[in-house]
Amino acid sequence: MLFRHRTGKFDLSQRTLLIGIVNVTPDSFSDGGKFLDPESAIAHGVELVAQGADVLDVGGESTRPGAQPVSEEEELRRVLPVIEGLRAKTSAPISVDTYKAKVAARAIEAGASIVNDISSFRLDPAMAEVVRDCRVGVMLMHMQGTPQTMQTNPRYDDVVREVREFLQERVGFAMGRGIDFESIMIDPGIGFGKTLEHNFQLLRGLAEFQSIGRPVLVGTSRKSLIARTVGDDLASRDWGTAATVAHAIARGAHAVRVHNVGLCRQVARMTDAVLYS
């Protein structure tokens, strides 16, 4: 299965894509403020590539539950120097984690080749045109509500079916706006408008997303479902993440978005070997 982006493509038929997280925010749930300085964020991204990251996902606005939005100007001030610096120091494709079309457009000018839109074009309808016109890859995620409201009593009759149908519709929407089918990746949105049990049901039901025909991205890294299950300290969150990464790949995930790339690279390589060698 191919995933195309602005500067190349990945063949994900027999290997898992590792997406390293570069948070440039003061309030991220995991490492808020740690890489707010551009030079620190750039150095961190370079290190993630050295650990095995295939893609670097740069975000300038926290989307943890209850997080408050930031202005376009502030988001750009945070991410542009980092994207420019990473583009100069690594050949790894860069993704910009934003739902704002103007931020995405400027980030692409600075060197991003993928857009990671948690709203799947719903919060800023102009985003679809930016993705189409710039010919970048796009990650479309399911989220119930917004980051401010998503954890206020999320409800589903059948979470796997409803999330799958949503993503199927969003892929159709993207293609209807002229976006290439092979440039789309889908993400069920673990932790975005889901209870603990909803998250576990999605992880158990990942194989059902194969019917959409696009690579499936799973992002569990250090999230609350892990902290609530195995402990809130960093080591517990990372080992819990590793377990969910192995499970997700075995159930059909093509890509994982993680903080601890070195650990998850070993997990992905071993799981890929079991599945495909």
Q: Confirm if 255 and 19 have CB atoms less than 8 A apart.
A: yes
Residues annotated as catalytic are 223, 257
Count of all residues that appear for the chain in the document: 277
* Residue that is written with structure tokens 């709203």 in the block: 119
Contacts of 50 (CB under 8 A, 6+ apart): none
Q: Residue 158 burial (CB < 10 Å; 0-12/13-18/19+)?
A: exposed
Distance CA 265, CA 221 (A): 13
Q: Which residue has the tokens 């606005």?
A: 61
CA distance 207 to 205: 5
Alpha carbons 272 and 78: distance in angstroms, whole number: 35
d(CA 186, CA 217): 6
Give the Cα separation of 183 and 250 in Å (integer).
23
Distance, CA of 212 to CA of 184 (rounded, Å):
11
Sole residue written with tokens 């670097």: 56
Classify the C-alpha dihedral 194-170-107-43 as positive or negative: positive
Could you give the 3-state DSSP secondary structure of residue 29?
coil
221 φ/ψ sector (left φ>0, alpha ψ -120 to 50, else beta) = beta
